[in-house]
Amino acid sequence: MLLSKLVGERTKENPSDATIRSHALLVRAGFIKLVANGIWALAMPARRICKKIENIIREEMDAVEGQEVSFPVVMPRELWEESGRYSSIGDEMVRFKDRNQKDLVLGMTHEEAAVYLCRNWVSSYQQLPFMIYQLQTKFRDEARSRGGLIRVREFVMKDAYSFHMSQEGLEEYYQRMYDAYSRIFKRIGMKKVAVVKSDSGMMGGNIAHEYMLLTPSGEDTIVLCSSCDYKANIEIAASVREPNRDDISSELEEVFTADKIQIDEVSELLKVPAHKTIKAVTYENRYSGEIIVAFIRGDLEINEAKLKKLVGKDIVPASLQDSQDVFAGNIGPIGLTDKVKVFFDTSLKEANNMVGGANKPEYHITGIDVSRDLKGVRFDDISKVRENEKCPVCGHELNLENGIEVGNIFQLGDKYTKGMNMTVLNREGKAQHPIMGCYGIGIGRALSSVAEESNDEYGLIWPMSIAPWHVYLCPLRLDDPLVKENAYKLYRELEEQGVEVLFDDRDTSAGVKFSDCDLMGIPLRVVISPRSLKNNQAEVQSRTKDFNKNINLSDVTSEIKKIISNSIL
């Protein structure tokens, strides 16, 4: 490729709206361009990177007997009504009508399409297990896209669906996918990837894992043990805490606290530490509107994902202005109306000398002994794990890190095969709903995640395996006939030998060429100049600067081929 013809503007200045490194650099290098909120166009270099990522994924999917298929982007409403998701999914799914007023949707995931494809063609246990996958565009009308390609509305995803006769069969295959995913991210060149247990969300599955690239700009929080290999998304990470009990329990006492309602206000007024207070957090069931009160130690926070799972329904923070049953700011476990649903966090188990709301305005109760004063209470783990708390497995300290979710794998169960009535006959001739697994990787997110992890002050640094080109061929003084002749000769030779070359055929200064090369992150730079030609050599340098060597012109191509094959696993 001749750089002079490459479409894409490289700029010195950062785009003003970029908040993370990968966003700024991909725009500056002319790889991507915003078309609309959360919708991007990719220029040739970014497209080449995507192709390479896609091919690595294809190889690994094919290696676990995946069958590549293609589902449509546009699907009829009926298909999504079969699974029940036409109504359960909100504004994230784009719906529209065609010229005949028929309802259509844009695919944001393809479980329905996968079941549809298979259900009439697969009828016997002998055809299972199998896995089908595709690389295709998804559209999700995200409430808020951000971070360049990290979180977008339109994106290409590899999504795979496996079908099994038994949970055991699924688990066995799930492990193979688990390993395949680990290989994929390694080959793509991601370094700090952690596989964490995750919340299976509202998809109705059991076990799920997320592949997290650990980076400060990640949107998810991951809990990692400093000693053992316990790793979990904070959404499901279990909390382990010491009992919060003093030797002597005081008596219950109602105290006037006026307009003090926040934990820090009450604890300051009554001179008690925050962990000796009981915080009441209120939610409401998104569908029924039922009020939910969650009690937790005052210094801790509610983990809404855990609570949501417990409630079994979507919950939203409650707006209590109209409620006659509870008094916001003075809600406590003693004397609370039974019109609300109540949950207690395990941090309150056996706690004594606690301060809580009195369930009437301007009063709190002190001296609450949970085991003495509250009978028949069930405790659930609904709190958010904090830094330095104890690992639920080995008891050592936990660390929190941020991560970008670059892939996930999911044991789905029979939700879709049951809902859409897909059956196969088992060995006994009985109809059975197959058990499914699903597995996803976002291509653009993978690209930008690598960019986020791998860059320096000069620009991007692509791993050889997904670099848009292997070599940046950089002649200096193209007006020198000798340079020109040798540069073009080497360019042809490299391309003939299958080396991917970006040839900087522009008549500009060395500085411009070097900085464009660095900005675009091409792994190898080959300089041909009057100086190097004095010894009949070219200068070969890696983007990371850890390789820098003058090589005889006749050996350059073979040396470069060696470097490339050594750096691609």
Q: Closest CB to RNA among 12 and 271? A: 12
In whole angstroms, the minimum distance from the beta carbon of 442 to RNA comes to: 8
458 lies in the site for RNA, by CB under 7 A: yes
The C-alpha torsion from 458 through 459 and 462 to 466, rounded to 10°, is -150
Mask of contacts with RNA, 380-419, x by CB under 7 A?
A: ----------------------------x-----------
- Between CA 62 and CA 132 the distance in angstroms is 10
In whole angstroms, the minimum distance from the beta carbon of 502 to RNA comes to: 14
143 lies in the site for RNA, by CB under 7 A: yes
Indicate the DSSP class of residue 52: H
Sole binder of RNA in the list 41, 316, 425, 482 (CB under 7 A): 316
- Between CA 445 and CA 151 the distance in angstroms is 7
Sole binder of RNA in the list 516, 522, 540, 557 (CB under 7 A): 516
In whole angstroms, the minimum distance from the beta carbon of 88 to RNA comes to: 7
Q: Closest CB to RNA among 336 and 446? A: 446
Question: What ranges make up the beta strands (E) of 394-542?
Answer: 398-413, 424-425, 431-432, 435-442, 455-456, 459-460, 471-475, 501-503, 524-528, 537-542
Sole binder of RNA in the list 1, 202, 334, 393 (CB under 7 A): 202
Sole binder of RNA in the list 190, 224, 473, 476 (CB under 7 A): 476
How many residues does the structure list for the chain? 569
12 lies in the site for RNA, by CB under 7 A: yes
Distance of CA 442 to the CA centre of its chain: 9
Which stretch, 59-67, 225-233, 313-321, 334-342, contacts RNA (CB under 7 A)?
313-321
Sole binder of RNA in the list 10, 77, 176, 341 (CB under 7 A): 10
146 lies in the site for RNA, by CB under 7 A: yes
147 lies in the site for RNA, by CB under 7 A: yes
Sole binder of RNA in the list 17, 68, 229, 387 (CB under 7 A): 17
Report whether 453 contacts 182 (CB < 8 A): no
- Give, as ranges, the residues between 26 and 45 that touch RNA (CB under 7 A): 34, 36-38
- Between CA 190 and CA 206 the distance in angstroms is 28
145 lies in the site for RNA, by CB under 7 A: yes
Sole binder of RNA in the list 158, 276, 445, 477 (CB under 7 A): 477
Q: Which of 324, 449, 525 is nearest to 26 (CA)?
A: 449
Q: Name the token pair of 410.
A: 């999911």
- Give, as ranges, the residues between 83 and 142 that touch RNA (CB under 7 A): 85, 88-90, 92, 108-109, 140, 142
Q: Which helix (H) or strand (E) holds 453?
A: helix 443-453
518 lies in the site for RNA, by CB under 7 A: yes
Specify the residue for token string 């290999």. 229
In whole angstroms, the minimum distance from the beta carbon of 516 to RNA comes to: 5
Sole binder of RNA in the list 296, 527, 563, 564 (CB under 7 A): 527
Indicate the DSSP class of residue 348: G
SS3 428: coil
Q: Which of 156, 220, 218 is nearest to 452 (CA)?
A: 218
Q: Name the token pair of 461.
A: 């640094």
Tell me the number of residues near RNA by CB under 7 A: 59
Q: Name the token pair of 295.
A: 């009690």
Sole binder of RNA in the list 25, 135, 188, 519 (CB under 7 A): 519
Which stretch, 68-76, 361-369, 445-453, 522-530, contacts RNA (CB under 7 A)?
522-530
314 lies in the site for RNA, by CB under 7 A: yes
- Between CA 187 and CA 166 the distance in angstroms is 32
514 lies in the site for RNA, by CB under 7 A: yes
Report whether 476 contacts 483 (CB < 8 A): yes
Indicate the DSSP class of residue 466: T
- Give, as ranges, the residues between 528 and 547 that touch RNA (CB under 7 A): 529-532, 539, 541
- Between CA 63 and CA 75 the distance in angstroms is 30
Specify the residue for token string 């006769």. 165
- Give, as ranges, the residues between 322 and 341 that touch RNA (CB under 7 A): none
- Between CA 419 and CA 433 the distance in angstroms is 10
- Between CA 522 and CA 263 the distance in angstroms is 54
For binding to RNA (CB under 7 A), which residues are involved? Answer: 9-13, 15-19, 34, 36-38, 85, 88-90, 92, 108-109, 140, 142-147, 201-203, 219, 304, 314, 316-317, 408, 438, 440, 458, 476-477, 479, 509-512, 514-516, 518-519, 527, 529-532, 539, 541
